[in-house]
Amino acid sequence: DAGVIQSPRHEVTEMGQEVTLRCKPISGHNSLFWYRQTMMRGLELLIYFNNNVPIDDSGMPEDRFSAKMPNASFSTLKIQPSEPRDSAVYFCASGSGPNYGYTFGSGTRLTVV
Amino acid sequence: AQSVTQLGSHVSVSEGALVLLRCNYSSSVPPYLFWYVQYPNQGLQLLLKYTSAATLVKGINGFEAEFKKSETSFHLTKPSAHMSDAAEYFCAVSEGRDDKIIFGKGTRLHILP
């Protein structure tokens, strides 16, 4: 089991550019989560999917953020246009229900300059 | 809505001493509770979870936590700290009605030689 795979590990981009973060969940997991981690705000849940359907996107900070899950093995988080305050570590996690816990990827460190 | 409060953003203990990291939760239904650990530049790793079975839960690396409903607490302990325990620890709660897991702000554990 390769775990939850996120790419890229690091991303540096200029303000105004589009950024796409990618996640491959563990095979068989039916829930997928996107979190953002910053020193100031800690771990924030942005959005989560169940069986590829977005269930709760109330944590998505602005319309500049969007997420998709076109199939059970792939999800993207897109920021367009990016701003310096979007700089953070973005984590993807997957699981099969809260009684099992969730497995996190290694994260994508995004820096917007 | 569920929430988690971790008391102390930084905790320092001497090597060999007891580790105690405090977590209080709020939930309208019997919760699922979790502790995760994050080492530098890594994702979150599940330490242990409470899912309404035994109230004393044992996890990896010698950690354990006790669910106390009357105190709405789920404190994490380890009898003897090792240098390798230095990391950030997150308490999390899920109400189980959906898949959402909400994290506390984390406690950074420092181990003094």
Residue-wise pLDDT for A3-48, tens only, equals 999 999 999 999 999 999 999 999 999 999 999 999 888 899 999 9
Sign, CA dihedral A30-A36-A41-A42, equals: positive
Q: pLDDT tens, A37-93?
A: 998 888 999 999 999 999 999 999 889 999 999 999 999 999 999 999 999 999 999
Q: Hey, are the CB atoms on A48 and B100 less than 8 Å from each other? A: yes
Q: Hey, are the CB atoms on A103 and B42 less than 8 Å from each other? A: no
Interface of B with A in 69-88 (CB under 8 A): none
- Grade residue A1 by pLDDT with cuts at 50, 70 and 90: low
The dihedral over CA atoms of A40, B33, B60, B22, expressed in degrees to the nearest 10, equals 60
- Grade residue B31 by pLDDT with cuts at 50, 70 and 90: confident
Q: pLDDT tens, B53-82?
A: 788 999 999 999 999 999 999 999 999 999
% of residues, chain A, pLDDT over 70:
99
Question: DSSP character for A15?
Answer: T
Distance CA A42, CA B64 (A): 24
Give pLDDT, residue B36. 96
Nearest to B34 among A42, A50, A101 (CB): A101
- The pLDDT mean for chain B works out to 92
Give pLDDT, residue B41. 83
Q: Are B111 and B81 in contact (CB under 8 A)?
A: yes
Number of CB pairs < 8 Å for A and B?
56
Chain A residues with beta carbon closer than 8 angstroms to that of B105: 42-43
- The set of long-range contacts for B55-62, using a CB threshold of 8 Å and a minimum separation of 24, is B59/B35, B61/B37, B61/B85
Q: Hey, are the CB atoms on B45 and A104 less than 8 Å from each other? A: yes
Chain B residues with beta carbon closer than 8 angstroms to that of A99: 32, 49, 51, 96
- Chain A CB within 8 Å of residue B90 CB: yes
Interface of A with B in 22-61 (CB under 8 A): 31, 33, 35, 42-43, 45, 48, 50, 55-56
Least confident of A67-81, A96-110, B91-105: B91-105
Q: Which of A35, A77, A34, A73 is nearest to A51 (CA)?
A: A73
